């Protein structure tokens, strides 16, 4: 800096004109310097030169036009530049002066965390002078520098350079000088504040000169004087800050404020060390200023421009990247959140924002930035719906969808006398804006949920323009598809059913006015007009065809096959309910009141005809898809069988119905063979299917159908679907009862829908339409009870409401059908594992049932009984294990029964773990006695079980070691190959179970066992014996390697053997 000042003095001395200009404007620069504060001297020179340059540029005359035209030349020449225009090198020099003012006068004097470091924005070296300055010097240098930059920003030539490169520095300095906390003046000095009223305008040249004089005076002020000076400067600079915020282009202000707020996080992301946090006072004032920018007229659009400029400040071309779209969601949430200022309420804030959001939606989209603003507006509406659904729907969406509200039941009750309710232009613009909103948001966006109450109106509009060339047809279909697929499956089907049949619905929906009809307009759109005459039958038939097209378009545009199949199944359920209602009326002779009989009958006939029309067309539409989805195919079979069952009770079954029933039963047999019916997700559906088969087997008139139903019952039972029929929860939409919504997410969804409808001033559908007739509901309940009773009677299970779990299980254990008994043993095992107290109280009875079960010839029975008996013995080993060992020695039992008992003992032994030594003598004696049996199968089973047991005994194997090894050596030479295989396998199990402990348990026998196994492997001719011997040798080798490689443990372990039976050791 000193070298630069010397060079400057030499240049001034050599240039007379420059010396004259400086002597007129800043003569102190020509005087000898008496201070060695080179930082201040350099800053003083920069500020003075900038002010001189600013005055010269402002005072330079504008070039006048030439008095006579110039002669034309062959080469085109540029017009002469005005005298106050700077060249490229001159701008670079001026930019260097501005950077020195910022580097020496602003950045070093800012508080930690305030502003953007200049070294992060320039490649030049930035001098560090903050450590050698006192507080009064920092304040005065900062005031002088910021006033100098403000003066330069008022120049037409220099303003663009100052604001483009250093607006963030000016804002940081002004915010610190005007809003940073200042220590209060001590008591007794309040009178000092009485002179603060002199500042009635923004900074001018006198204020700047005064600040420079204070800096050159170098007189240190005391604390009170410094505070007084800071308060005076704050009073004046507050007006400068206000003028700067009001006169500068608002998007630039927003951008710089956001950069001030995000500077620390950006530096941390770049890995810059020693980054300070942004002070809280700076966060608060920036938030207040952004809120003020937002709430002023047209402020939201300006904030959006400034925000995207701030995000894309380092990118080229101003193109918004995908990261910016993610930040867009964050920006929308910030805008939707109510500011923390006390003077701002929810109503006032949303009223100020709502009109601006509506303007963003309704303004024409010419440029790419308009499209960006539209998408940001969609994100803001979504965030506002999450924060305040009712206020948003009333203030924002209510204005956008106002043409649609003119057609609904509540708000359109008092229509005007004109024929046109909503013009073609208004309705077309509304639908186009809605389509753009739907196309700009994600599939689960809150905006789609906000369109649910208006779904019936949009559906009626779509019906009116189907099979036409209206330009609104495709946008309406895409809106319906997006809204439908954004909702849960059950709610979406209820929504579409209400639009088609006006059935009960728990969702608050807008009811189209009865006198309003939608017709094609002259410009290819649609308009709402008053209906002068009721709808004729021909018009109703045309509407039925168009209703199918509108409903099918919901699934065509979504390209989702599964929702379409589910909706078709819901139509079948409604058809089943309608058939049952007609059958009930014929059988019971229900009489309607004369006043409503004709109207109800006419409407009911129309609904049934429309239902048949939809079922027929949707069946053709999803014929291929239905066969690809097993679950939907099963639902189709269940509904068809339900309908056939209802018709077969009162009417003669036709050949077509008989063929349909046979076809469905054939499909059901294929589904049973390739599906796990006991899966938890389909359990209720399989139960319904089982009930249909029970009803057909009991009451159908065709013997062939009855026989197929009984065979399928057996197939069902073998898969485990034999539980007592329960009163299933009705999921039929035709029943008029929505399933309970216990899930927290669905409850929140319904609460949000209610808030949106309240903002739209839409009542619940139940308040506008009556509920279903009581006779229909009673009919469904009777059908449900009847189906349950028939199924229960066929299965032989008590139907008493007081039937307990054990009574039901006991009946199934004695059922005549093998699958039911096998499933009962599986259920018994499950209840025992769950610790069912009622079942455990009857353990003696269950023990006898399991004893007889293991003697059954059917594998499904005895395998299930083995598992149940193993759990039963394991629950009470001290009492039941001796009984089980005694049963094993009974001669009257068959070979198969003894093998099954041995399997039970083996399962119990595996579950013992460290408790195996307690029952050592009991189990070993039982297995050794069985090993002497004459039947080789029993001997082999006993020996293999003995090996499993001894492998778990550990050190408790020592007292019986010689006896067991002698037995195994003898059985290895048994003439029966099966026994020999079992003996070698038992040796392998002992070695594997003990592991490296075998060298402590029987150290003197390991060598002999190894020799015998090697000899057996070398001499035997039986392939199975050789393989088992090789496996035993490998187990012994693995135990040896584990012992040699194991690390010694510095621990002492004390184990008491035979604690419960000391006499047996």
pLDDT tens digits for range 233-289: 888 888 889 898 888 888 888 888 888 888 877 777 777 777 788 888 988 888 888
Which residue would you say has higher pLDDT here, 414 or 475?
475
Task: Tell me which DSSP letter residue 516 carries.
Answer: E
Does residue 430 have a pLDDT over 90? Answer: yes
The whole-number average pLDDT for the span 1044-1054 is 72
pLDDT digits (tens, 9 = 90+) for 477-508: 999 999 998 888 888 888 888 888 887 777 78
DSSP 3-state of 1009: helix
The pairing of beta strand 526-530 with beta strand 420-422? antiparallel
Burial class (CB in 10 A: 0-12, 13-18, 19+), 300: buried
Q: Cβ atoms within 10 A of the Cβ of 1063, count?
A: 6
Query: Nearest Cα to 577, choosing from 770, 788, 792, 775?
Result: 775
Domains present along the chain, CATH in parentheses? 1-59+87-185+196-248 (no CATH), 578-589+598-736+774-795 (no CATH), 919-1064 (1.25.10)
Task: Tell me which DSSP letter residue 72 carries.
Answer: P
The whole-number average pLDDT for the span 520-545 is 84
pLDDT on residue 652: 60
Using the CB atoms, write b or e for 514-551: b if 16+ within 10 Å: eebbbebbeeebbbbbebeeeeeeeeeeebbebbbbbb
pLDDT on residue 781: 45
How many residues belong to the chain?
A: 1065
Q: Which residue has the tokens 């966060």?
A: 283
Distance CA 824, CA 852 (A): 14
pLDDT digits (tens, 9 = 90+) for 356-401: 888 888 887 766 677 778 888 888 888 888 888 888 888 889 899 9
Which residue would you say has higher pLDDT here, 1056 or 609?
609
Query: Nearest Cα to 139, choosing from 110, 181, 99, 164?
Result: 110
Determine what percent of the chain is predicted with pLDDT higher than 90.
4
Tokens representing 360?
């963003």
Dihedral of the alpha carbons of 254, 260, 262, 267, in degrees to the nearest 10: 140
Does residue 770 have a pLDDT over 90? Answer: no
Which residue would you say has higher pLDDT here, 257 or 129?
257
The whole-number average pLDDT for the span 926-948 is 81
Does residue 476 have a pLDDT over 90? Answer: yes
The whole-number average pLDDT for the span 461-474 is 90
pLDDT on residue 429: 92
Burial class (CB in 10 A: 0-12, 13-18, 19+), 41: middle
Is the alpha carbon torsion for 399, 401, 403, 407 positive or negative?
A: negative
pLDDT bracket for residue 808 (50, 70, 90): confident
The whole-number average pLDDT for the span 652-678 is 69
Does residue 796 have a pLDDT over 70? Answer: no
**Does residue 14 come out as left (phi exceeding 0), alpha (psi in the -120 to 50 range) or beta?**
alpha
Distance CA 938, CA 927 (A): 10
The pairing of beta strand 420-422 with beta strand 516-520? unpaired
Which residue would you say has higher pLDDT here, 204 or 312?
204
Q: Cβ atoms within 10 A of the Cβ of 274, count?
A: 6
Tokens representing 75?
């080469």
Does residue 739 have a pLDDT over 50? Answer: no
Terminal CA-to-CA distance of the chain, rounded, Å?
101
124: phi then psi, degrees, rounded to nearest 5: -80, 160
pLDDT bracket for residue 104 (50, 70, 90): confident
pLDDT, the chain, mean: 76
Using the CB atoms, write b or e for 567-594: b if 16+ within 10 Å: bbbbbbbbbbbbbbbebbeeeeeeeeee
Does residue 955 have a pLDDT over 90? Answer: no
pLDDT bracket for residue 126 (50, 70, 90): low
Sheet strands side by side (includes 420-422): 420-422, 526-530, 516-520
pLDDT on residue 782: 45
Query: Nearest Cα to 864, choosing from 872, 875, 874, 853?
Result: 853
pLDDT on residue 207: 79
Does residue 682 have a pLDDT over 50? Answer: yes
pLDDT on residue 186: 63
Distance CA 241, CA 1016 (A): 102
DSSP 3-state of 532: coil
Does residue 844 have a pLDDT over 60? Answer: yes
The whole-number average pLDDT for the span 859-869 is 84
Which residue would you say has higher pLDDT here, 607 or 659?
607
pLDDT on residue 790: 42
pLDDT on residue 428: 92
The whole-number average pLDDT for the span 390-415 is 77
Distance CA 516, CA 602 (A): 21
pLDDT on residue 600: 45
The whole-number average pLDDT for the span 127-150 is 80
The whole-number average pLDDT for the span 214-229 is 76
Among 310-324, 331-345, 354-368, 516-530, which stretch is predicted with the lowest mean pLDDT?
310-324
Rg over CA atoms, the chain = 46
What pTM was computed for the model?
0.60
Task: Tell me which DSSP letter residue 761 carries.
Answer: T
């Amino acid at each position: 800096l000193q070298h630069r000042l010397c060079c400057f003095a030499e240049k001034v001395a050599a240039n007379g004109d420059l010396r004259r200009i400086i002597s007129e404007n800043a003569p102190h620069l020509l005087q000898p310097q008496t201070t060695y504060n080179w930082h201040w001297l350099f800053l003083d020179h920069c500020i003075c030169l900038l002010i001189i340059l600013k005055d010269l540029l402002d005072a330079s005359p504008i070039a006048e036009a030439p008095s006579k035209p110039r002669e034309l030349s062959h080469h085109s020449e540029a017009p002469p530049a005005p005298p106050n225009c700077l060249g490229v090198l001159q701008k670079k020099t001026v930019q260097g002066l501005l950077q020195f003012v910022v580097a020496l006068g602003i950045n070093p004097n800012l508080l930690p965390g305030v502003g953007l470091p200049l070294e992060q924005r320039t490649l030049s070296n930035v001098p560090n002078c903050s450590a050698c300055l006192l507080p009064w010097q920092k304040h005065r240098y900062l005031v002088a520098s910021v006033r100098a930059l403000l003066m330069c920003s008022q120049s037409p030539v220099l303003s663009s350079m100052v604001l483009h490169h250093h607006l963030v520095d000016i804002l940081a300095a002004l915010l610190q000088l005007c809003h940073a906390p200042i220590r209060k003046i001590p008591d007794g000095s309040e009178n000092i504040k009485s002179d603060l009223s002199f500042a009635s305008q923004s900074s001018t040249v006198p204020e700047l000169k005064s600040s420079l004089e204070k800096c050159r005076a170098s007189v240190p002020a005391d604390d009170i004087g410094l505070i007084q000076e800071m308060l005076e400067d704050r009073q004046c600079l507050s007006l400068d800050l206000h003028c700067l915020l009001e006169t500068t282009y608002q998007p630039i202000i927003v951008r710089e404020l956001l950069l001030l707020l995000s500077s620390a996080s950006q530096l941390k992301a770049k890995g810059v060390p020693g980054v300070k946090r942004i002070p809280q006072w700076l966060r608060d004032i920036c938030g207040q200023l952004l809120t003020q920018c937002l709430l002023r007229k047209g402020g939201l659009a300006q904030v959006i421009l400034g925000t995207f400029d701030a995000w894309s400040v380092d990118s080229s071309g101003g193109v918004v990247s995908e990261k910016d779209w993610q930040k867009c969601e964050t920006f929308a949430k910030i805008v939707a959140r109510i500011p923390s200022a006390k003077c701002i309420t929810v109503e006032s804030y949303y009223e100020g924002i709502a009109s601006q959001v509506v303007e963003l939606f309704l303004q024409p989209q010419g440029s790419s930035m308009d499209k960006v603003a539209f998408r940001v507006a969609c994100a803001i509406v979504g965030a506002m719906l999450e924060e305040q659904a009712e206020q948003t729907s009333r203030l924002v969406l209510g204005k956008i969808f106002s043409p649609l509200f003119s057609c609904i039941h509540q708000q359109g009750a008092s229509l005007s006398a004109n024929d046109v309710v909503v013009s073609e232009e208004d309705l077309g613009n509304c639908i186009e804006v809605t389509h753009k909103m739907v196309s700009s948001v994600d599939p689960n966006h809150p905006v789609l949920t906000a369109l649910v109450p208006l779904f019936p109106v949009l559906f009626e509009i779509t019906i009116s323009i189907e099979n036409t060339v209206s330009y609104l047809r495709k946008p309406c279909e895409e809106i319906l598809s997006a809204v439908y697929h954004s909702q849960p499956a059950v709610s979406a089907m209820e929504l579409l059913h209400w639009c088609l049949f006006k059935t009960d619905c728990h969702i608050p929906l807008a009811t189209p006015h009865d006198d309003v009809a939608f017709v094609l307009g002259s410009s290819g759109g649609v308009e709402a007009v008053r209906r002068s005459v009721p709808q004729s039958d021909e018009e109703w038939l045309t509407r039925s065809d168009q209703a199918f097209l509108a409903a099918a378009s919901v699934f065509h545009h979504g390209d989702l096959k599964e929702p379409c199949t589910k909706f078709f199944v819901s139509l079948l359920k409604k058809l089943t309910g309608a058939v049952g209602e007609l059958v009930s009326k014929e059988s019971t002779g229900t009489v309607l009141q004369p006043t409503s009989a004709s109207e109800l009958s006419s409407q009911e006939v129309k609904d049934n005809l429309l239902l048949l029309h939809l079922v027929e067309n949707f069946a053709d539409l999803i014929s291929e898809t239905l066969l690809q989805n097993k679950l939907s195919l099963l639902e189709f079979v269940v509904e068809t069988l339900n309908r056939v069952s209802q018709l077969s009770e009162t009417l003669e079954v036709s050949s077509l119905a008989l063929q349909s029933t046979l076809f469905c039963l054939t499909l059901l047999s294929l589904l049973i063979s390739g599906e796990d019916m006991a899966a938890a997700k389909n359990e209720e559906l399989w139960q319904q299917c089982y009930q249909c088969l029970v009803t057909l087997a009991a009451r159908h008139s065709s013997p062939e159908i009855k026989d197929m139903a009984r065979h399928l019952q057996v197939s069902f039972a073998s898969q485990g679907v034999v539980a007592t029929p329960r009163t299933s929860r009705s999921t039929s939409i035709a029943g008029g009862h929505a399933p309970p919504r216990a899930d927290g997410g669905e409850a929140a969804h319904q609460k949000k829908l209610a808030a949106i409808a309240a903002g739209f001033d839409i009542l619940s559908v139940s308040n506008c339409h009556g509920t279903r007739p009581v006779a229909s509901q009673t009919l469904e309940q009777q059908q449900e009870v009847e189906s349950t009773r028939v199924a229960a009677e066929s299965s032989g299970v008590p139907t008493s409401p007081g039937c307990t779990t054990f009574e039901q299980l006991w009946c199934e254990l004695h059922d005549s059908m093998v699958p039911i008994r096998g499933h009962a043993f599986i259920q018994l095992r499950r209840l025992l594992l769950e610790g069912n107290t009622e079942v455990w109280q009857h353990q003696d009875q269950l023990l006898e049932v399991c004893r007889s079960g293991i003697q059954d010839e059917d594998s499904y029975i005895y395998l299930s009984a083995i598992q149940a008996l193993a759990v039963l013995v394991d629950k009470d080993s001290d009492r039941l294990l001796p009984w089980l060992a005694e049963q094993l020695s009974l001669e009257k039992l068959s070979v198969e029964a003894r093998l099954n008992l041995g399997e039970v003992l083996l399962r119990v032994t595996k579950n013992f773990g460290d408790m195996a030594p307690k029952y050592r003598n009991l189990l070993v004696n039982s297995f050794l006695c069985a090993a002497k049996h004459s039947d080789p199968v029993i001997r082999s089973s006993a020996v293999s079980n003995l090996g499993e047991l001894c492998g778990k005994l550990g050190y408790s194997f020592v007292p019986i070691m010689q006896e067991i090894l002698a037995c195994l050596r003898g059985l290895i030479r048994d003439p029966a190959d099966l026994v020999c295989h079992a003996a070698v396998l038992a040796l392998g199990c002992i070695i594997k179970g003990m592991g490296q402990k075998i060298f402590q348990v029987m150290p003197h026998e390991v060598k002999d066992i190894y020799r015998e196994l090697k000899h057996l492997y070398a001499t035997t001719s039986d392939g199975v014996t050789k393989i088992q011997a090789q496996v035993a040798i490998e187990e012994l080798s693995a135990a040896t390697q584990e012992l040699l490689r194991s690390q010694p443990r510095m621990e002492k372990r004390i184990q008491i053997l035979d604690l419960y039976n000391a006499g047996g050791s």
